[in-house]
Structure 1
Amino acid sequence: MRPPYLLLPVLLSFGSRAAPVPADTLRPVSPDRLLSYTYANDLFFRTDYYFTQGMTLALVHPALARLPTRHLLPGGPRGSTQYHGLGLRYDGFTPLSIADPAVRVGDRPYAAYLYASFFRVGNRSARYQRLTTALDVGFIGPAAGGKQVQTALHRLTGGEEPRGWDHQIRNAPVLGYCAAYEKQLLAVPGRAELLGTAEASVGTLYTYAGTGVRLRVGQLNPYFANLGGAAPGPHAGLHRWQCYGQAALNGRLVGYDATLQGGLFNRSPYTLAAADVRRAVLRGTWGLALAHDGFSFAAAATWVSPEFAGGRTHRWGQLGLTQSF
């Protein structure tokens, strides 16, 4: 099987040769093309437990509107500009101590997942609202390579070698559907924006519902003008340089979490009981972003409340790059 990360160059070449995308005069497809990458690790806060490392790679391209998954993803109300994308996501999780080769009863299980996300964004700038829907397909378990990724990184950096991955969540399919709605609540044009969000996910990996707020302050373009990566060159009414701080607070009601409870269709060596999973979880994020024309860089820190009985709060850092082309 071809490694998933090799699909993006294929899609880039596919976009240059593909036939015209399906026409929809009520929901036009944006010509914008973006490639983004994020890397997250709790090493930024000198810890090495719970959520320990994650990566995302995403492509937005008008040619992806030809994928059959578009029929499963609503595009929002009429007048919305459509963005179609494909993403890959990897995340890894460990207990408090990775030096213990035995099962740490009452602690977080070892777990890792890798999945592809087919997503569609319906952005209605005139109404300051956005609907994002996604279909996630992949797997959780040893096939995601969590043991190999963490072991290789620790050997490279001289860190302690993890010894408990043999007890990780077993291989199971990831199939999920999620949706997020964003709406502007308040704004000082070009200087500050307050956004409200609502989201929900149903699937074999995560099932939850949540809501929150997001604040952006600085020299910035309107959030709903595009996906944050307008093509290089001047654009009427938009700053070529952006520099701003942002902060978000979200609350979730958790129905199922496979990284704690294991897959739905098999048994793992060690999982947490449903009664031990915290059903209400808070997450806060704050950071800075710098952008010029079609390139942007963002650095952020995330804090999350305890996710299971006896668990701790946790923090990690994230770096992200986005390039329009």
Structure 2
Amino acid sequence: MRLPILLLFLGFCGFTGHAAPAPADTLRPISPSRLLRYTYANDLFFRTDYYFTQGMTLTLVHPMLARLPVRPLLAAGPRGSMQQHGLTLRYDGFTPLRIQDAFIRVGDRPYAAYLYGSFFRVSNQPARHQRLTTALEIGFIGPAAGGKQLQTAIHRLTGNAEPRGWDYQIRNAPIIGYRVAFEKQLAANQHVDLLGNAEASLGTLYTYAGTGLRLRAGKLNPCFADLAVTSPGYSGKAHWQLYGEATLTGRLIGYDATLQGSPFTNRDPYTLHASDVGRAILRSSGGVVLAHGGLSFAATATWVSPEFAGGRSHRWGQLGMTVAF
């Protein structure tokens, strides 16, 4: 099941400038911008090895993705907004507090891993300093995501203790979800901007609603001018960027399959009861971004409040690279 999604994604990565044009839309023009982004997150950066233990994303933004048949399912912004279409392949893995225990740790976080593709549409409005993103997420949670094999291989390679409880992970089940996010500039000058955002997700993996703030400061391009990096040949933006970024977000949780298991099955060896799931979660992050032309590097640290009864707050780091082409 993982292979078709991966092949589909890699096929899109092969698109070039001489490919057939995307369908014309005079009311909502499609941006010619293209980028490829990779991120890797791991709590090893803070010398911990529990809860959210590692994750990876690979994202492609390309005008050809507007030809995907899922496009009509992705709500667009107002007329005149510039459209960007993309695909993200995402993997995340989760473990309890002690991975050396070869038994179920009752009251702790279950083992879980998922892999899904997110088809998204961004409606960017530079004049109004706002952006709407809609996404359709399709994939699976369970052993098929390879969480046991990936963490075991990494721990063997690094000489760390091997995880012994993955046989009790949440079982295979499909993921389908729909996410909507809106971002609006609240204040800005040449070197600082403050953004407000709201986001909601309805799906079998995560169901939640949240809102928050994002602050950027330093030498930076306007947030809604184009993509986060300068595409080749694009004028009107600085070629060098160096800025700090901080976010603060609150979420109300309706459902979390990494804690509760999939609503499609009841075969999981162990999950948390709904009453033990934290319903109000706070998340913050801070980082730095360095960009030149079509290349960008980012380093971010994230903190999240306890997600279930008796749980701890948690921190992890993330490294990312973006290439515009």
TM-score, normalization by structure 1: 0.97
Q: Is the contact between residue 215 and residue 245 of structure 2 (CA under 8 Å) also seen in structure 1?
A: yes
Query: Aligned pair count?
Result: 323
Q: Could you tell me which amino acid in structure 2 is paired with residue 305 of structure 1? A: S
User: Structure 2, unaligned stretches of length 5 or more?
Assistant: none
Which letter maps to 1:322? Answer: T
The CA deviation string for residues 205-262 of structure 1, in whole angstroms up to 9 with x for no partner, is 00000000000000000000112122134612x1100000000000000000000000
Q: What are the superposed Cα offsets for residues 100-131 of structure 1, whole Å, 9 maximum, x if unpaired?
A: 00000000000000000000000000000000
| Residues 233, 293 of structure 1: 8 Å contact kept | no
Are the counterparts in 2 of residues 234 and 240 from structure 1 also a CA contact under 8 Å? no
Pair 226,118 (structure 1): closer, same or farther in 2 beyond 3 Å = same
Can you list the C-alpha shifts for 1:240-293, whole angstroms capped at 9, x where unaligned? 000000000000000000000001111200000000001000000100000000
1:71-100 CA distance string (max 9 Å, x none): 000120111100000110000000000000
Amino acid paired to 2:238: H
Task: Return the offset for 1:19.
Answer: 2.7
1:260/1:277 contact within 8 Å kept: yes
8 Å CA contact 1:135–1:177 kept in 2: the answer is yes
**Are positions 1:82 and 2:83 aligned together?**
yes
- Residue deviations 1:107-164, cap 9 Å, x none? 0000000000000000000000000010000000000000000000000100100000
> Could you tell me how far 1:13 is from its partner in structure 2?
3.0
Give the corresponding residue for 2:242.
Answer: 243
Give the match for residue 205 of structure 1: 205
Give yes or no for contact 2:230–2:239 (8 Å, CA) kept in 1: no
* 1:302 aligned residue: 302
Deviations 1:53-79 (A, max 9, x none): 000000000000011111000120111
What is the CA–CA distance in structure 2 between the aligned matches of 1:14 and 1:321, rounded to whole Å? 20
CA RMSD of aligned residues (A): 1.1
Length-normalised TM-score, structure 2: 0.97
Per-residue CA shift, 1:269-323, capped at 9, x if unaligned?
A: 0000000001000000100000000000000000000000000000000000000
What residue identity is the alignment partner of 1:300? T
Quick check: 1:15–1:64 contact (8 Å CA) kept in 2?
no
- Code of the aligned partner of 2:194: L
Name the structure 1 match of 2:127: 126
SS of 1:127's equivalent in the other structure is coil
Q: Partner residue of 1:104? A: 105
Q: Tell me the amino acid that sits aligned with residue 56 of structure 1.
A: T
- Measured in 2, the distance between the counterparts of 1:291 and 1:285 equals 19
User: What is the rounded CA distance, in whole Å, between the counterparts of 2:176 and 2:9 in structure 1?
Assistant: 21
Report the residue type matching 2:223 in the other structure: Y
Given that 2:36 and 2:323 are in contact with CA atoms closer than 8 Å, whether structure 1 keeps it comes out as yes
Letter of the structure 2 residue corresponding to residue 222 of structure 1: P
Q: Tell me: CA distance 1:183–1:71, structure 2 relative to 1, closer, same or farther (3 Å).
A: same
Cα offset for 1:11?
1.2
CA contact (8 A) 2:192 2:216 kept: yes
Q: Secondary structure at the match of 2:227?
A: coil
Residue type at the aligned position of 2:315: R
Separation of aligned partners in 1, 2:165 and 2:83:
44
Distance in 1, matches of 2:162 and 2:5, equals: 27
> Which whole-Å CA distance do the structure 2 matches of 1:12 and 1:205 have between them?
26
For 1:162-311, list aligned pairs within 5 A. Answer: 162-189=163-190, 191-233=191-233, 235-236=235-236, 238-267=237-266, 268-311=268-311
The answer to whether the Cα contact below 8 Å between 1:140 and 1:173 also exists between their aligned partners in 2 is yes
Alpha-carbon contact 1:32-1:230 (below 8 Å) kept? no
Distance 2:139 2:10 in 1: 20
